[in-house]
Amino acid sequence: MSGIYIHIPFCKQACHYCDFHFSTSMKKKEEMVLAIAKELQMRKNELENETIETIYFGGGTPSILPISEIRFLIDEVYKNYKVVKNPEITIEANPDDLSNERIIGLSKTKINRLSIGIQSFFEDDLKMMNRAHNSKEAKKCLEVATQYFDNISLDLIYGIPDSSQNGEQAQQMSNEKWIQNIQTALSFGIPHISSYALTVEPKTALNKLIQTGKIAKPKDEVAQEHFAILVEMLETNGFIQYELSNFGKEAFFSKNNSAYWLGKKYIGIGPSAHSYDRFSRSWNVSNNSLYLKAIQENRLPNEIEILSITDRYNEYVMIGLRTIWGVSLHKIENEFGKEYLNYLNKQVQKFINDDLVCIENNILKTTKKGKFLTDGIASDLFFINL
Ligand code: SF4
């Protein structure tokens, strides 16, 4: 079983914190849709022995596409690949694209899961992040979307500096405001929430705004508190934290993301999209013009990296620790060998002593205390070839 990821590299405007690949010029949109369809055809042999379980439209902003283009791309997947009877087909959508008509239109396609980029229900946060939607649109689209889709995920960002105050007075988002955001999300009865701390990437507008003192720097302690509040509130409301930043009601875990985390094969189509086949990883060029040129010349614009055994071990530890499935010591021994298992057992001891991780039934997992520190713990368990 495999998945197909389709990257739509266009957005209405650039969110201040974003370092994904996208263009705000729509000039080449139609050309791009045709090129993506062509890449789907060009790569069909890569998955000829596989069945497709999930199709995911990400970006950028895939909800920017008209329904006809979304349908066209889904049809291209069906024409070129073997798709299971009830695949999970997700589209990432922004509230400003989700008018009543659009939601109804999407519900009449094969799309059966919406992942909505809400980020915050507060107007000042949305403005500070330069999101294209407002708070009213965020709430309105959820009211309507829940009438047409059962399977909805929404994104929320925590650890946001409070933009209602500027310069030296700038504060961090209060716990009360964060709690209100979660409560509002819960009030719509959606079954899945993804939530990430605001991170400051080097080449973003957010970084510049912080450097020039216009916005306060997000603080780790605040993010950690918000994370603890998030976990507690969502668990109390019946959500399972199946990955560090992903919470789903039973039967509503994202099949697409779970497949990544369980190491299944997938291909990524479109500029900047990544592909993985357990032994190698490849990524398309992050440039719309170069991508279009290559596809028009019948070339795949990608670079390929063959994963060494150490790369695969490190990746498994990193991803495993973030998920509910943990890191199987049995798998470490079988797939990577005794040397890796001995190394892991030695490195992990200090974290066990500090009650940050535990081993149950031969599975290594983070404890409640260690969860927020997962990425740091994982990097300490990485094997380094000297
Ligand atoms: S809509 Fe998404 S992809 Fe586009 S700029 Fe904002 S965060 Fe980035």
Question: In whole angstroms, what is the distance from residue 292 CA to residue 320 CA?
Answer: 36
Q: What is the domain class of 2-261 according to CATH? A: alpha beta
**Ligand 1 atom showing the smallest separation from residue 131 Cα:** 6
Burial 246-273 (b: 16+ CB within 10 A, else e): bbbbeebbbbbbbbbbeebbbbbbbbbb
Task: Assign residue 198 a region (left: φ > 0; alpha: ψ between -120 and 50; beta: otherwise).
Answer: beta
Q: Is 56 in the pocket of ligand 1 (CB under 6 A)?
A: no
| Greater model confidence, 9 or 162 | 9
- Residue 165: the pLDDT is 56
Residue-wise DSSP of 217-249: PP-HHHHHHHHHHHHHHHHHTT-EEEETTEEE-
Q: Please tell me the distance between residue 91's alpha carbon and the centre of ligand 1 in angstroms.
A: 14
Q: Please tell me the distance between residue 92's alpha carbon and the centre of ligand 1 in angstroms.
A: 10
Ligand 1 pocket mutation, candidates 61, 125, 272, criterion most atoms within 8 A of CB: 61
Identity of the amino acid at 286: S
- Residue 286: the pLDDT is 98
Ligand 1 pocket mutation, candidates 7, 10, 11, 23, criterion most atoms within 8 A of CB: 11
Which whole number is the average pLDDT over 89-117?
98
Has residue 171 got a pLDDT over 80? no
Question: In whole angstroms, what is the distance from residue 386 CA to residue 383 CA?
Answer: 9
- Residue 170: the pLDDT is 57
Q: Is 358 in the pocket of ligand 1 (CB under 6 A)?
A: no
Q: Please tell me the distance between residue 302's alpha carbon and the centre of ligand 1 in angstroms.
A: 23
pLDDT tens profile 220-258: 999 999 999 999 999 999 999 999 999 999 999 999 999
Question: In whole angstroms, what is the distance from residue 274 CA to residue 307 CA?
Answer: 14
* Structure tokens given for 152: 């909805």
> What percentage of residues in the chain have a pLDDT greater than 70?
98
Cα 325 to chain centroid, rounded? 18
Q: Is 14 in the pocket of ligand 1 (CB under 6 A)?
A: yes
Question: In whole angstroms, what is the distance from residue 295 CA to residue 42 CA?
Answer: 9
Has residue 372 got a pLDDT over 60? yes
Atom 8 of ligand 1, nearest CA residue? 18
Q: Is 18 in the pocket of ligand 1 (CB under 6 A)?
A: yes
Mean pLDDT (the chain) is: 95
The DSSP symbol for 132 reads S
Band (pLDDT 50/70/90 cuts) for residue 166 is low
Band (pLDDT 50/70/90 cuts) for residue 386 is low
pLDDT tens profile 58-68: 999 999 999 99
Closest Cα partner for 329 from 370, 351, 359, 299? 359
**Ligand 1 atom showing the smallest separation from residue 19 Cα:** 8
Question: In whole angstroms, what is the distance from residue 94 CA to residue 141 CA?
Answer: 9
297 Cβ partners below 8 Å, 6+ apart? Answer: none
Atom 2 of ligand 1, nearest CA residue? 60
Which whole number is the average pLDDT over 326-335?
97
Residue ranges per structural domain of the chain: 2-261, 309-381
Q: Please tell me the distance between residue 346's alpha carbon and the centre of ligand 1 in angstroms.
A: 41
Identity of the amino acid at 149: F
324 Cβ partners below 8 Å, 6+ apart? Answer: 240, 241, 242, 243
Q: Is 248 in the pocket of ligand 1 (CB under 6 A)?
A: no
Has residue 150 got a pLDDT over 90? yes
The CA-atom distances, in angstroms, between 157 and each of 129, 178, 317 are: 10, 9, 25
Rounded to 5 degrees, φ, ψ at 19 are -125, 25
Count CB atoms within 10 A of the CB of residue 212.
Answer: 9
pLDDT tens profile 271-307: 999 999 999 999 999 999 999 999 999 999 999 999 9
Fold of 309-381: Arc Repressor Mutant, subunit A (1.10.10)
| R_g of the chain, CA atoms, integer Å | 21
* Structure tokens given for 276: 């993985």
Complete edge-to-edge strand list for the sheet that includes strand 246-248: 240-243, 246-248, 192-197, 152-158, 113-119, 82-93, 51-59, 2-8, 266-269, 274-276, 280-284, 302-306
Q: What global pTM score does this model have?
A: 0.95
> What percentage of residues in the chain have a pLDDT greater than 90?
94
